[in-house]
Amino acid sequence: MYDLIIIGGGPAGLAAAVKAKECGLKKVMICERSTELGGILNQCIHNGFGLTYFKEELTGPEYASRFIDMLKETDVEVRTDTMVLDISPEKEVHMVSPAMGYRVEKAKAVILAMGCRERSRGALSIPGTRPAGVYTAGAAQKYVNIDGYLPGRRVVILGSGDIGLIMARRLTLEGCKVLACVELNEYSSGLNRNIVQCLNDYDIPLLLSHTVTNISGDRRVERVTVSEVDNKTKQPIPGTEQYFDCDTLLLSVGLIPENELSRDAGINLDPRTKGPYVYDNMETSLPGVFACGNVLHVHDLVDFVTQEAQRAAAAAAEYVKKGQPERGEVLDVKTAGGVTYTVPQQICPADLEGDTKVSFRVNRVFGKSRIVVSSGDRELFTQKKPFMMPGEMQNVMLPADILKAAEDSITVEARED
């Protein structure tokens, strides 16, 4: 019997494992389906990680190695090449690996840290032929940075998510011609700094309010058609077609939390985040099963994944030591005024000490604005925000006393001044 089994050895799983040991748990295991720990950080060789958590600028592999080194100081059992197939409500974890075959291990608590995966062409319904040369940006990143291959030479990128922007620069440095980065919305979903240092630095055009409306090519991509879209309907405007002769189309069109295991375990999922519903201690609807990182909701900064994983691991340690906490009154966290979701979705104010972090995103660009948290018709908390955009996750720290003063539910709302 394990105290804790962590599913996934990326940034969330690593931070959770280290924290769980700090909190005094004895038998802890990480299951990782890849051959090495670190998850997606291994292929994110660019810098910019760790500014919040380590107060210095690290590359992805360096950030991962900080936690891998910390983990080496512990007795956490690391099972790589290990795929988890099923989690039962009794927290029996079914796993398979070449080294150990099929195993069922039982745990007092489980942390879900499986991360997310990329939306692919199938999710977009782009018309055209089905040639080789259409990749998700993250797949291309693996080919280039881990395997040392170029996916193509002349590249168009659909979507301006951060991975797409990072790949625009990466492929340019490797000698490819990146013809354009095409974004459906009138704003980029990537971080501003990435638009500056990945597109502007290399004179790569960013076509906002545009999308790919056709892919042509027999065996290999030969050309993509790009059209302007109506900002209201998001439909292509006839007569605005541009043609790009290229051999590669990269898709950077969003990430989806990878929750097949959670769903099969009967854990309630939030259709907005596509991750589990969680309480303020990151516990899912299945007692003793916690979630953190991109499996819970997609983050833009790994530093916040680390913090969330530590919160989940501390709570899992409490659960193992003391059993299921008395929840007392449960507040639903509702959204209004451009806030698309919150994590956590439920808060139990009874035992709270200190501040509770609530993360959320907004659905459009906000100038100078305020975040207002209210319960019924009472405003409990406001915080000014100079600027918000959908690509940047927002956080508010809610003091315990205001949460204790709330009844039934709280509503998180964004109001532009």
Separation CA 8–CA 270 (nearest Å): 21
Note whether 105 binds another protein by CB under 8 A. no
CA distances from 285 to 133, 280, 288, 311 (A): 41, 12, 9, 17
* Interface mask toward another protein for 173-192; x: CB under 8 A: xx----------------xx
Judged by phi (left if over 0) then psi (alpha if -120 to 50, else beta), residue 89 lies in alpha
- Judged by beta carbon, residue 201 or residue 264, the one nearer another protein is 201
Q: Per this entry, what is the length of the chain?
A: 417
Separation CA 312–CA 114 (nearest Å): 14
Our measurement of the distance from residue 314's CA atom to the centroid of its chain's CA atoms, rounded to an integer in Å, reads 21
Note whether 328 binds another protein by CB under 8 A. no
Note whether 97 binds another protein by CB under 8 A. no
- Which amino acid appears at position 306 of this protein? T
Note whether 81 binds another protein by CB under 8 A. no
How far apart are CB 36 and another protein at their closest, in Å?
9
Which residue's entry shows tokens 């985040």?
A: 273
- Judged by beta carbon, residue 46 or residue 121, the one nearer another protein is 46
- Judged by beta carbon, residue 69 or residue 241, the one nearer another protein is 69
Note whether 242 binds another protein by CB under 8 A. no
Note whether 78 binds another protein by CB under 8 A. no
Note whether 80 binds another protein by CB under 8 A. no
Note whether 48 binds another protein by CB under 8 A. yes
Q: Residues near 148 by Cβ (< 8 Å), separated by ≥ 6?
A: none
Q: How many residues bind another protein (CB under 8 A)?
A: 30
Separation CA 11–CA 69 (nearest Å): 13
CA distances from 61 to 50, 288, 390, 399 (A): 11, 31, 27, 36
How far apart are CB 193 and another protein at their closest, in Å?
4
* Interface mask toward another protein for 119-148; x: CB under 8 A: -------------------------xxxxx
Note whether 51 binds another protein by CB under 8 A. yes
Interface ranges with another protein (CB under 8 A): 35, 42, 45-48, 51, 57, 59-62, 65, 144-148, 173-174, 191-193, 195-197, 201, 300-301, 392
